[in-house]
Amino acid sequence: MPQLFHRGANTIARASIYGGLGIIGLFFWVIYAVNDSPYFDFVGVPRPQPVQFSHKHHVQDDGIDCRYCHTTVETQAFAGMPPTHTCMTCHSVLFADSPALAPVRQSYADNTPLAWTRVYDLPDYVYFNHSIHVNKGVACITCHGRVDEMPLMWRQKTLRMNWCLSCHRSPELFVTPREHVFDMTWVRDGDQRDMGARLVKEYDIKRLTDCYTCHR
């Protein structure tokens, strides 16, 4: 009786066992990598807006404070989006005829708000409050990055739950002195851990990792 299988069958058998394991491993790695990529979390992806609004120009060149537009960031859950009237405080005079600002003037004339594309949009099942974070010493740049260097707005952090928990589990690694919260360019001197440990104690910051802290 001739041999049923060619000698190469042994190699094929081994290759299919180890290759199978490899393919399964690769499959899960690809799923993880794709989920963790900007394709899903939009990190570093500038989003198109109805008006080419530049944070870089307004914050860096003009030196406008964050709170001039995002008025409720210290007192409410939502930081606040400026009404068109806020834009028009300057732009009724400055660049009043600029074609780039036509949608702003249209909005002002029609009394309809501009439909900005939300860059930092949390799912509805997450409760988030800006005021408590700002008042406990979480700086704007900790989550939003150097907004003063962004011509168009993009997301700096993933907004994934592991990112939330990285700070909720060890806030001392991220906390900033309150007086520097709105400062785009402040750089601490010395060790973050030393300063963080001191601030955590001083501001009475708790490690809030219960499910219902955010999922209410």
Partner 1 sequence: MPERPTTGQLVPRPPVIAPDYTPGSVTDAISEIVLKKPHTVPWLAAFAVTSLVVLGFLAGIGVLLFVGVGIWGINIPVAWGFAITNFVWWIGIGHAGTLISAILLLLHQEWRNSINRFAEAMTVFAVTCAALFPLLHLGRAWLFYWLIPYPNLMSLWPQFRSPLVLDVFAISTYFTISLLFWYLGLIPDFATLRDQATSRFQRIFYGIFAMGWRGAGRHWHHYQMGYLLLAGLATPLVVSVHSVVSIDFAYALLPGWHSSIFPPYFVAGAIYSGFAMVITLTIPLRKFYGLDGLVTDRHIDNMAKLLLATGLVVDYGYLMEMFTAWYSAERYEMFTLYNRMTGPYAAVFWLVLAINIGVLQLLWIRRVRRHLLSLFVLSLVIQSAMWLERYMIIITALHRDFLPRSWGMFAGTFWDWLLVIGSIGLFFWLFLLFVRYIPMISIFEGREMVHKAAREAGVR
43 binding partner 1? (CB under 8 A): no
7 binding partner 1? (CB under 8 A): no
| Among positions 36, 82, 86, 208, the unique one binding partner 1 when judged by CB under 8 A | 36
27 binding partner 1? (CB under 8 A): no
Total residues binding partner 1 (CB under 8 A):
15
Residue 202 to residues 135, 137, 168, 178, 181, Cα–Cα distance (Å): 12, 11, 17, 11, 15
Q: Which is nearer to partner 1, 10 or 75 (CB)?
A: 10
| Cα torsion 136, 154, 126, 32: sign | negative
User: Which has the closest alpha carbon to 119: 200, 194, 49?
Assistant: 49
In the shown chain, the binding pattern of residues 150 to 189 toward partner 1, with x for contact by CB under 8 A and - for none, equals --------x-xxx--xx-----------------------
23 binding partner 1? (CB under 8 A): no
Q: Which is nearer to partner 1, 16 or 92 (CB)?
A: 16
DSSP 64-99: --HHHHSTTTTTSSS-----HHHHHHHHTTTTTT-G
Report how far residue 26's alpha carbon sits from residue 21's, in angstroms, rounded to the nearest whole number: 9
Piece of 7-15, 55-63, 72-80, 142-150 that binds partner 1 (CB under 8 A): 7-15
Question: Residue 86: how many CA atoms within 13 Å on its side-chain side?
Answer: 14
Interface residues with partner 1 (CB under 8 A) are 4-5, 9-10, 13, 28, 32, 35-36, 158, 160-162, 165-166
